[in-house]
Amino acid sequence: MPRMQITSMYIAWGNGPEHLLPDTLAAVYNDGSVPMITWEPWRSRFGHSIDGLGQEQKVLSLIPTGIFDSYLERFADQVKALNRPLFLRFAHEADNPAYPWSPSGGNTPDEFKAAWQYVHTLFQRRGAINAIWVWNPWKASNAETWFPGKAYVDWLGVTILNYGPAHGGNEWYAFEKLYAPFHRLPLFRSGLPVMVAEMGSAADAGNQSRWLSDAFRDISLLFPEIHAQVFFNTAHDTNVPPGDSSRYIDWTIRQPMPVLTALNNYPRLHGPVAAIASISQITTSSTAVHHLLPDSIRGLLYQKGEEWFGNRHVLTRRETASDMQQMQQLGVNTIRRYGPGVYDRNVLAEAGSHGIRVHYGFWLPDVTDMDKDSSSLTRMQASILRTVAGRRSDTVITAWHLGNNAWQELSQYHFKPALLYQQQRYLQWLEGLAAAIKAADPSRVVTTDLHMYPGLPESMPWLRLQLPAIDAFGVEATGDTSGLSRLLAGNFPCFINRMPVSAFAKLPPTPAFLTNWQDLENRNFVSFDGLTDLQGRYKKDLHLLTGLWSHSPAQAPLPKVKILRPSRTTLPGSQLTYNALVSTGNGWRFTVPDTDRLRFEWYLVQTDGYGNPFRIQQVGEGWSLTLRVPEQPMHYWLYLEAAKDGSVSTDFSSLHTPLF
């Protein structure tokens, strides 16, 4: 058959050269294909080099002990040295009793997940970022139980084989029927690309060409999550079903030309065969001088008045001075301000007069494709360098920050291997920008941001090598913080770039820019992550942060409040009544006006199709609200503020009462 874009190979664990990557991979790449290694963790093939490994039992529980590390490290280093993408289908079909890494070998789902994560982490630590991890369950009913986590998987794999009546299949099963149970799983519609890693119909099952032609049609029309299919084109498959007297099964495609003709009818399923280029990486240490970021940073984001037109706040010197004074009393010594903007002069002057340093930031453009967006990045770089040249004499500025780093966000628009090339091109641009900033202003720190994910600590050595002009990395830890303690304890220049105050309070002293000083509102954007609300009143987190940073007794926050929704259907145009509840510490009650002395304010918040708020309107006051439900109520929230003595307690709610 003509060459395909993925070439499948099988390698068993063990000693000897046959258990490592073969020299033939160079020919695979030159032929325009990406190799896929199905990597099988057999115990017994290590011979006597590892004591007690003669039996094929409990291999998965042994992997995290480090007993196989010398083999794993050698294999990972081989993968890294390829400098090209390689699909790695590790421990495939771990729920299939035909394999000893399944329950038949004494292995459990938890042991599989721990082993997978251990091997994946080892590869990251060794810098083998070009490995593309393919997780392949056997049965759909077991998939969610054996899934090792989205942070550790690049592709979902499935085995779709029609054995036919001759090999225990009882009947001829169409592709659609075999794959449908996987398609129904939320995991298989979660955004991860799906690969049919073994696809075929036995040569003696009958109607082989029609089976494959129908499969191409179904993949194209019914299963958009499938982005690759690999023919299981072997003539001697010895893994025969129980009760089958055959010595082997022949899966070879008997009539290739009709199959390829059928494939060409569906453009989404095939593409041109192109050379697989090296992933261009920086592999030598930079001679640039690294500046240390102060470890005493107690910082907030100060974006008030960022877009002056249509903005709630006019950032006069008086208002800026008032904000700086309050932040100074809180213990803030540094602010992050993204620019350039019309209020830069006021902000820099008032920050300086209050002894507050400025970490001046540039919000980089969103990037979806490095080919399409390269011109906007070029323009942004020129604008940044003009600002650096114009502001480098401002002594209140202590660092330059490159925000909205798109290196991770590119995964929303591409999957590997294309993602590897997109990300590497972006890192090269980012490194060039950072180096140009340092050339224009050699005395200041240059930083950028990263989103926290479990594998980030292991990826940091490689990432630092790619970005030698970056002095420190700001970690946005607003979601999964697994691995954050390892990252902060490691030998990496990191600081918190954004994090809930309650989570930050549990960390040891750490330099941080935690959140916004104030909620923001302009003509097309509303945010609620400030320490103060739109009116400047103090929220609960500000009181908590006072105790952490100012080392003075924190004022007790107001009691929590909650919106009680009506148990009625939410229909546009109907009138529904919502009530405010006040926390008692172990329950909820209606407010007692003479005792609570809380002023309740109700706001209707409109969101776009992605759930982002862009408009806010006050719709009532008091302990209850009767609201006429707007059109498209799913695009609205209710926002409640309970105010007293310059502080507020807040709550959000959808307009409807969930039915589950």
pLDDT score recorded for residue 247: 82
535 Cβ contact list (under 8 Å, min separation 6):
none
Which pairing describes strands 530-532 and 636-644: parallel, antiparallel, or unpaired? unpaired
CA dist 503 → 300, 335, 384, 474, 483 (Å): 15, 20, 33, 16, 14
Distance in angstroms (rounded) separating the CA atoms of residues 605 and 616 = 4
**Rg of the chain on CA atoms, in Å:** 29
Angle at 658 between CA 477 and CA 580, to 5 degrees: 80
Q: CB of 565 within 8 A of CB of 636?
A: no
Q: Is 566 exposed, middle or buried, given 0-12, 13-18 or 19+ CB atoms closer than 10 A?
A: middle
Distance in angstroms (rounded) separating the CA atoms of residues 446 and 366 = 20
Q: CB of 219 within 8 A of CB of 229?
A: yes
Mean pLDDT by 10 residues, the chain (660 residues): 72 94 93 94 78 78 95 97 96 96 96 98 95 97 97 96 74 92 96 95 85 93 94 82 76 85 79 64 58 91 81 86 96 96 94 97 97 96 98 96 96 94 96 97 96 92 94 92 87 93 93 96 92 96 92 82 92 95 95 92 95 95 96 95 96 78
CA dist 341 → 36, 150, 236, 402, 634 (Å): 50, 39, 69, 16, 35
Helix (H, G, I), strand (E, B) or coil at 138: coil
CA dist 540 → 124, 138, 260, 502 (Å): 39, 49, 64, 10
Query: Which element (helix H / strand E) includes 608?
Result: none
Residue 616 CA, distance from chain mean position = 29
Q: Tokens standing for 338?
A: 């993204």
pLDDT score recorded for residue 621: 97
pLDDT score recorded for residue 52: 63
Q: CB of 416 within 8 A of CB of 132?
A: yes
pLDDT score recorded for residue 270: 65
Q: Tokens standing for 214?
A: 């129908």
Best CA proximity match to 541, nearest among 530, 549, 553, 551: 530
CA dist 287 → 13, 127, 238, 440, 463 (Å): 40, 21, 56, 16, 16
Distance in angstroms (rounded) separating the CA atoms of residues 658 and 217 = 39
Distance in angstroms (rounded) separating the CA atoms of residues 143 and 348 = 55
- SS3 sequence of 455-507: CHHHHHHHHHHHCCCCCEEEEECCCCCCCHHHHHHCCCCEEEEECCHHHHCCC
pLDDT score recorded for residue 2: 37
The model's pTM is: 0.90
232 Cβ contact list (under 8 Å, min separation 6):
8, 161, 198, 199, 200, 251
Q: CB of 151 within 8 A of CB of 157?
A: no
Q: CB of 175 within 8 A of CB of 214?
A: yes
Which pairing describes strands 194-201 and 155-162: parallel, antiparallel, or unpaired? parallel
Distance in angstroms (rounded) separating the CA atoms of residues 36 and 230 = 10
Strand runs labelled E in 91-244? 131-135, 155-162, 194-201, 226-231
| Amino acid making up residue 114 | A
**What is the per-residue DSSP string for 165-186?**
GGGT-SS---HHHHHHHHHTSG
474 Cβ contact list (under 8 Å, min separation 6):
401, 447, 448, 449, 450, 494, 495, 496, 497, 498, 513
pLDDT score recorded for residue 24: 92
Helix/strand/coil percentages in the chain, nearest 5: 30, 25, 45
Residues marked active site are found at: 93, 198
Distance in angstroms (rounded) separating the CA atoms of residues 156 and 383 = 42
Q: CB of 205 within 8 A of CB of 162?
A: yes
Distance in angstroms (rounded) separating the CA atoms of residues 302 and 325 = 13
